[in-house]
Each structure stands twice: as structure tokens, then as C-alpha cells.
Amino acid sequence: MVSPIDTLPPELLIEIFATSAYQEALAPLVLRRVSKWWREIVNLSPHVWQYIFLDDGVRSVECSRVQAELWTQRSVPLPIDIELKVESLDMILPMLSPLLPSVDRWRTFVVKGRREESMALTSLSMTRESLDSLQIAIQDDDVGLPKTTFTPEWPHNFTMNVWLLEIPQSRLLAPLRFTSITITENPLSDIHTPPGAILDFLTACPELETFYFSGWQHNDEPPKTALPVVSLPNLHTLHLKNTCLARSILSFLYVPRLTHLYLAHLNVEFMLLGEYHEDGDSDDDAHDFSQSPWSDRATGMGLRKLIARSRPPIKLLDMDFSDMRTKDFRYVFDRLPLLEDFLIVASDMSDKVIDMLRPYRLPRPDNTKQIRLPRLRRIGLYNCQRLTGDAIVGALTARIEFTDVNPSCSLDEVAIVACDGFSHRNGEALARQLGTRLRLT
């Protein structure tokens, strides 16, 4: 005996089923169980699967991921409507991660619960390729939250913004295809993000090209379990700022294409927690003065491990209120043959470091000379108060006399700004060698 509803034309059944799906999130699965005829209609009708409702208070992230992937696949090629009901802000990114590859099909995006947001996306022309940037703000729930998850960037790209308390574990995430990721800690929130959480998260970002982390200087115990080595084969720019985690992060990255490294505000005057006994951890033989000896060691050791593991083709090294020990500078200078730009601000480095830039003789019978950083074209020294002017003039003059024979290997620009030990007389002496290549203001 045929049920009256089964006599309805398939087109009408599809509309009924699609309407039901907007009332009950799992309606397509329920309807498929009624009969073979209904299962065929549901399976072959993308319209029934266009509404994707995910609720972190009802289903686990793992179940939501399966649901999102099934609905996304079944709804092709139609646009989809995304609605999240969230009890935890930390779950927004895991819930959305399996849906992001289909962002070009998103018609509407709605968030309810802990946050309220509603967006119509059809006018944005957002695609998987144009949604290339992710910004994560780590902060307390009670901090005033912006309301826009997706923001346009000039000229045609888009950024996804999330606000959370803890970085999600990689096991909760579908692979993230962002090429640029920024993570910032709010110092007013007093949230301590461990380095293991950052590294684990980065394992879910295989296409990352630029990574920026700005924290606050919380002095935590070092991790008691081994940290994961993260392979980021496409990363070319790394920026670490205002954090005590530099050693842990730098030491466990494999970044064979890294060309630009920015280290900012890593110096601290307090002793960092933890004992390390790795090769290079011994005291610096130079015994040079430093206002930040513990962070100098941490930064230097992290950079040593990064270089030893990755052998990156770094072309720019920018150190702003970030320092190393004298022996770390020697290690780095000896192993960055492609470095073109070296800028350093407010360093305690001594004359021994600047002296490394002058030519030196190889231990050979012919007394051949060579230079460290043979590709160096630009050097900037800003507020480096331990350097003496005579040491700067002596090292750079000797280098210029050696390299100007081959202009392709010589310095194009030298900036020496607000270094108290560098006098007007020193400037005149160096200007005779460098001419217009020298900048003193």
C-alpha cells in the first residue's frame, strides 16, 4: 500500500525535506531512514543539505566535523548556510575548519550563543584562495569582542578573526590552508599560552608562509614533555615579539625556506625558569656585559637550533630589543652565508661582535682572507650603547676595503643611529670610506 505522501512529486518532497532540515539539524539523516524511496531522494538532492547547523553543546567537535564534511559534500554545487551555536569560543575555529575549503559556497554565516553574529557572504566573493589570513586573539571572555569573523583586506583578500582562551589542539582541526597566521596574547588577560600548544597548532597549518606571534613575558616553567618538531616547508617569514617562549618555538621549527626573521622585544632582565644542558649552553667565553643575560642565552640557543635543524636561507635578520651572547653571534654569522640585511636595535653587543664583520685569515699556508656574511648589503645599528666608534670604524673600513674590489659583495647601506660611542669624528672617518652609503640619522 502506497502512503499518500509518497504520491507527491519528488520536487515537492525535496522542498518539504529542505524545510525540515532548517527546523532540525539532522533531519536529512532521519529522513533517509524512512524508506528506500526517501533515501534516494535525500541522497540525490543537494537542496536538502544546504543548511549546516553545528552545536558544541550537543555534539563533540569530532561529530560536528563528520557532519560538516558530509553536508558539504552532499550539497555540492549549491550555496550553503552555516549556523553555529557555541558555548565555548574556543570551539569556533575547530567547528569551522572542515567548512573553510568550501567558503566560496557560503551564503550566510550565523553565530549564536556565547557570541552573536550574522553575515551575508554572497556579496564578498570570498574564496578558499582569497581567505588566506587568520588572526587569533587570546583573551578573556569578558574582554569586549569584535563582531566580525571575516574582514576584507586590500585589495582582494580576506582575514578570518577568532577570539579564544586556549589555542585549539591540532587533533580537533581539519587542515588549515591559511598562508598567514597571527597569534596575539592580551597581557591584560593573564593567560599563559604554553609553547607546546603553539607548536601543536602549527602542525595543522601545512601551507603557512608567514607566522607572527606577539605574546607577553610570562616566565613559565619549561615543558616537562618533549615538544613536537613542526615542519613548515613554505614558511618564509617568522616574527616573534614580546615573549619568553622564543627558545622553545625556534628550537622546534623546521623551516627550510625561511628568508625573513624578526625578533622583537625578547630581552628580559629576570632569570628565565628551567635548566638546559644542550651543546652551546655553557657560559660565554667572552664574558661581555649584558642587561639581559638569561634571555640572551635563550634567544641565541633557539636561533642555533633553528639554523642547525633547518639550514634556512635567511636574507634578513631584524633584532629589536633582542640580543644574544657573543658566541651566539659568531655561530649565527658563520652559518648565514645568504644574509643581506642585518638590523639590530638596543643591543648590548660588544666590540667583539662588530669585529666579526672584518676580514679574517684562514688557517692555511697562503693566509687567504675571507669574510663572514659575504652577501651582506645593509647593516643598521640603532641605540647600541656598548659599541665604541673606533671598533665600528675599524671593522667596517676593513670590510669595505676588502669587498669593494667586488662591488656585488660590498655594502650598499650602513646606518649608525643614536649609538653614544660613535662620535662625530668617527662619522667623518667612516664617511670617507662609505660616502653616500652611510646614514647617521
Q: Are 250 and 230 in contact (CB under 8 A)?
A: no
For residue 146, name the pLDDT band (cuts at 50, 70, 90).
Answer: low
Q: What local confidence, expressed as pLDDT, does residue 70 receive?
A: 96
Q: What local confidence, expressed as pLDDT, does residue 337 receive?
A: 97
Percent of the chain at pLDDT > 70 equals 93
> At a CB cut-off of 8 Å and minimum separation 6, what does 215 contact?
184, 185, 193, 241, 242, 243, 244, 245
Q: Are 84 and 54 in contact (CB under 8 A)?
A: yes
Task: Give the mean pLDDT of 294-321.
Answer: 96
Q: What local confidence, expressed as pLDDT, does residue 367 receive?
A: 73
Q: What local confidence, expressed as pLDDT, does residue 275 receive?
A: 62
Q: What local confidence, expressed as pLDDT, does residue 287 receive?
A: 67
pLDDT tens for 354-373 read 999 999 988 777 778 899 99
pLDDT tens for 195-238 read 999 999 999 999 999 999 999 887 766 777 889 999 999 999 99
Task: Give the mean pLDDT of 329-337.
Answer: 97
Task: Give the mean pLDDT of 92-112.
Answer: 97
Structural domain spans, the chain: 131-439
For residue 81, name the pLDDT band (cuts at 50, 70, 90).
Answer: very high
Its pTM surpasses 0.75: yes
Q: Are 131 and 100 in contact (CB under 8 A)?
A: yes
CATH topology of domain 131-439: 3.80.10
Q: What letter represents residue 86's amino acid?
A: V
pLDDT tens for 15-70 read 988 899 888 889 999 988 888 888 998 998 999 999 999 999 999 999 999 999 99
Measured distance CA(88)–CA(139) in Å, rounded: 13
For residue 192, name the pLDDT band (cuts at 50, 70, 90).
Answer: confident
Q: When comparing pLDDT for 279 and 49, which is higher?
A: 49
Q: What local confidence, expressed as pLDDT, does residue 143 receive?
A: 59
